């Protein structure tokens, strides 16, 4: 078992109907590795930050079993910064600021010690960078998962399509699935997207749960009905981290086990939205995670044996 994550490690400033933050730690890579750290004791990350990135956070990641040889720290440069504001119903957000900084010239270097990774999670980044990582791995991992977003479909669709041909699992949201496929029906969208490369597809629907597609099989997991969603930032990345952390720890990428991974990803995401940024997922106990998974089982459990 060895899990490699590639993704942004960055700063965010977030405004929701419940409040706003100053610059806090964010980035897809950060959420992914924190979430997966509850399932794998050791993992690797390939990412880049500027010298403005706090040492304490790097130490925290180290304590959580994240090897940091693949984290490039660029002297005299600034970390990626994103700022956004959510609508009142939390279903949409406006980007206020995007400063690429070190991410603009990110050349993902894969340390020799990471070469034998069996599970690869390519967090949302430019498809060009994602492709470079795949090419720079001498041995193909057992399972390659990729997340992306509408932005890359707008400006780098050709590279994205190349990347899709090389992966096993695509994890995107419903809006992205519709844009990528040009189909409104998610069933049609899933069929088209799987023809583009990935054998497995997860479509995240936010508060409406997530769908897992493989060949003729479909699995649906709800999101936990929450009293309040405090801050949705990073929920999708936290899902991906829980999903891939669980797959890597069990060394089982069968459809049956991916169903469990979807439930676990959903449980982790349900924590993420309870506080700003990574605050909630940095401080979970195994008991809390088990209880949350039990809530999912309760929510979805029914017995149709001899029903009609």
Q: Does 82 bind a second copy (CB under 8 A)?
A: no
Closer to a second copy at the Cβ: 75 or 89?
89
What does the alpha-carbon distance between residue 27 and residue 36 come to, in Å, rounded to a whole number?
A: 15
Burial of 228 (0-12, 13-18, 19+ CB in 10 A): exposed
Handedness of CA 48, 51, 57, 61 (dihedral sign): positive
What does the alpha-carbon distance between residue 43 and residue 67 come to, in Å, rounded to a whole number?
A: 6
Question: Which range, of 133-141, 193-201, 221-229, 276-284, touches a second copy by CB under 8 A?
Answer: 221-229
* Minimum CB–partner distance for residue 173 and a second copy (Å): 14
Pattern of binders to a second copy over 165-204, x per CB under 8 A?
Answer: -------------------xxxxx----------------
Q: Does 41 bind a second copy (CB under 8 A)?
A: no
- In SS3 terms, 198-246 reads as CCEEEEECHHHCEEEEECCEEEEECCCCCCCCCCCCCHHHHHHHHHHHH
Footprint (CB under 8 A) of a second copy, residues 229-258: 229, 246, 256
Q: Does 205 bind a second copy (CB under 8 A)?
A: yes
Q: Does 215 bind a second copy (CB under 8 A)?
A: no
Given a contact cutoff of 8 angstroms between Cβ atoms, the answer to whether 37 and 62 are in contact is no
Rule CB under 8 A: choose which of 107, 112, 228, 287 binds a second copy: 228
The number of C-alpha atoms within 13 Å of 118 and in the hemisphere containing its C-beta is 12
Residue found by looking up tokens 């078992």 in the block: 1
Q: Does 93 bind a second copy (CB under 8 A)?
A: no
Contact footprint for a second copy (CB under 8 A)? 39, 88-89, 184-188, 205, 208-209, 211, 217-222, 225-229, 246, 256, 259-260, 262-264, 286, 289-290, 293, 296-304, 307-308
């Amino acid at each position: 078992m060895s899990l490699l994550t590639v993704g942004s490690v960055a700063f965010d400033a977030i405004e929701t109907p419940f409040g706003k933050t100053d610059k806090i730690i964010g980035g897809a890579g950060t959420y992914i590795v924190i979430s997966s750290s509850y399932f794998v004791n050791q993992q690797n990350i390939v990412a880049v930050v500027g010298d403005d990135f706090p040492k304490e956070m790097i130490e925290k990641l180290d304590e959580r079993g994240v090897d940091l040889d693949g984290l490039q720290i660029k002297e005299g440069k600034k970390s990626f910064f994103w700022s956004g504001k959510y609508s009142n119903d939390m279903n949409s957000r406006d980007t206020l600021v995007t400063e690429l900084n070190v991410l603009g010239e990110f050349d993902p270097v894969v340390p020799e010690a990471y070469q034998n990774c069996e599970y690869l999670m390519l967090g949302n980044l430019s498809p060009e960078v994602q492709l470079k990582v795949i090419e720079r791995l001498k041995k193909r991992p057992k399972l390659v998962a990729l997340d992306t977003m509408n932005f890359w479909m707008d400006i780098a669709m050709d590279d994205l399509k190349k990347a899709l041909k090389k992966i096993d699992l695509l994890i995107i949201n419903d809006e992205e699935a519709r844009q990528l496929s040009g189909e409104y029906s998610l069933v049609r969208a899933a069929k088209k997207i799987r023809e583009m490369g990935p054998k497995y597809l997860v479509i995240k629907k936010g508060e409406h749960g997530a769908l897992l597609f493989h060949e003729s099989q479909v699995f649906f997991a709800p999101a936990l009905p929450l009293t309040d969603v405090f801050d949705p930032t990073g929920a999708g990345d936290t899902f991906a981290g829980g999903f891939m952390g669980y797959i890597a720890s069990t060394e089982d990428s069968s459809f049956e086990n991916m169903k469990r991974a979807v439930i676990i990803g959903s449980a982790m995401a349900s924590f993420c939205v309870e506080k700003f940024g990574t605050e909630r997922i940095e401080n979970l106990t195994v008991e809390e995670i088990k209880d949350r998974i039990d809530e999912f089982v309760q929510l979805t459990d029914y017995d149709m044996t001899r029903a009609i």
